[in-house]
């Protein structure tokens, strides 16, 4: 692995991180909208793979909290 290859891989990784952040925010908004539309929490959990607690955090974040990231680790 040479420096140029490593640099290209690191760039791809940073780009993927940026895309992931954007998609996580879009998914959080979709979860909040689904909640407003009456989609059952268990169905949201089934589709997303998130726990009920993660889904609750995302839905409650609409009230001004920081719940766009369901995995705050």
pLDDT per position as a tens digit, 12-69: 999 999 999 999 999 999 999 999 999 999 999 999 999 999 999 999 997 655 555 5
**Residue of 23, 21, 22, 28 whose CA lies nearest to 58:** 28
pLDDT at 73: 42
| Confidence at residue 62, expressed as pLDDT on a 0 to 100 scale | 74
Give the Cα separation of 20 and 26 in Å (integer).
Answer: 10
Question: CA distances (Å), 73 to each of 35, 69, 70, in order?
Answer: 24, 9, 9
Q: What is the pLDDT of residue 71?
A: 55
pTM for the model stands at: 0.78
Q: Residue 64 has what pLDDT?
A: 58
């Amino acid at each position: 692995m040479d420096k140029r290859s490593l640099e290209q891989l690191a760039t791809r990784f940073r780009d993927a991180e940026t895309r992931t952040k954007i998609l996580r925010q879009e998914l959080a908004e979709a979860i909040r909208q689904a909640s407003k539309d009456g989609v059952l929490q268990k169905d949201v959990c089934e589709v997303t793979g998130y726990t009920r607690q993660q889904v609750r955090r995302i839905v409650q974040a609409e009230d001004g909290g920081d719940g766009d990231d369901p995995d705050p680790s």
